[in-house]
Homo-oligomer: A and B are copies of this chain.
Amino acid sequence: MDVLVPFAAERPKTRLESVLDGEERVAFARAMLVDVLAAVDGTGRSPTVLATAPVDVDHPVTVDDRPLTPAVNQRLGDATAVLMADLALATPAAVDRLFAPDAGVVLAPGLGGGTNALVTRHPEFRVDYHGASYRDHRRNADRVGATVATVDSFRLAVDVDERTDLTEVLLHGDGSARDWLVDAGFELAQTDGRVDVTRAAR
């Protein structure tokens, strides 16, 4: 099965601009990509990066500068998996769960209505990553008559887009993205509610 990892190589992670400058966002996004690729490697599968511009990683890279949805749809084969590049908590065990259900379409929901990972085995299924894509993907699967299964995974549900997501990486990550944050001075900060992050002055 083809395993695609789409990656926005230019101006990634704009919603982290309150805590990371432009160069840092590029470096942190790449660290997360490396972690996702390692998690896929750990399942015995071979991922391909589908990037908007060339990126230097130890895996095959296909460049397509179109938006995510058409770039992915053009490459959906008989059996294809698509994992977002910002799943910094992904582990081989979590990724493996995506391949377990015997369904036409398997969806791993992300926080806030996204689809962080999916498998399609149905030739007519198409993705649409705009907006509440989880709901749209369920609908698209129903429309083409594909059976749907979901994967109930915290590690696949956390895509790292916002400041609060950095907390999860510090708490539960164990790869290069977590190392990058620690090296950059991030640490956990207690609050009355959920744990936050702070950054030490350099």
Contacts and interface: CB of A to CB of B under 8 A. Distances in A.
B112 A193 contact: yes
A111 interface: yes
B161 A113 contact: no
A53 interface: no
A157 interface: yes
B171 A132 contact: yes
Task: Name the residue among A154, A161, A162 with the largest chain B CB count within 10 angstroms.
Answer: A154
Contacts of A172: 109
Contacts of A157: 154, 157
Contacts of A144: none
A93 B101 CA distance: 15
A173 interface: no
B112 A194 contact: yes
Task: Name the residue among A114, A152, A161, A171 with the largest chain B CB count within 10 angstroms.
Answer: A152
List of 10 A-B pairs having minimum Cβ-Cβ separation, nearest first: A112-B194, A113-B195, A154-B157, A132-B195, A131-B190, A154-B154, A112-B195, A152-B153, A152-B155, A152-B154
Interface of A: 15, 93-94, 97, 109, 111-114, 131-132, 134-135, 152-157, 161-162, 164, 167-168, 171-172, 188, 190, 193-195
27 contacts: A94-B152, A97-B152, A109-B171, A109-B172, A111-B194, A112-B167, A112-B193, A113-B167, A113-B188, A113-B194, A113-B195, A114-B194, A132-B171, A132-B188, A132-B190, A134-B171, A135-B171, A152-B153, A152-B154, A152-B155, A153-B154, A154-B154, A154-B156, A154-B157, A157-B157, A161-B193, A162-B193
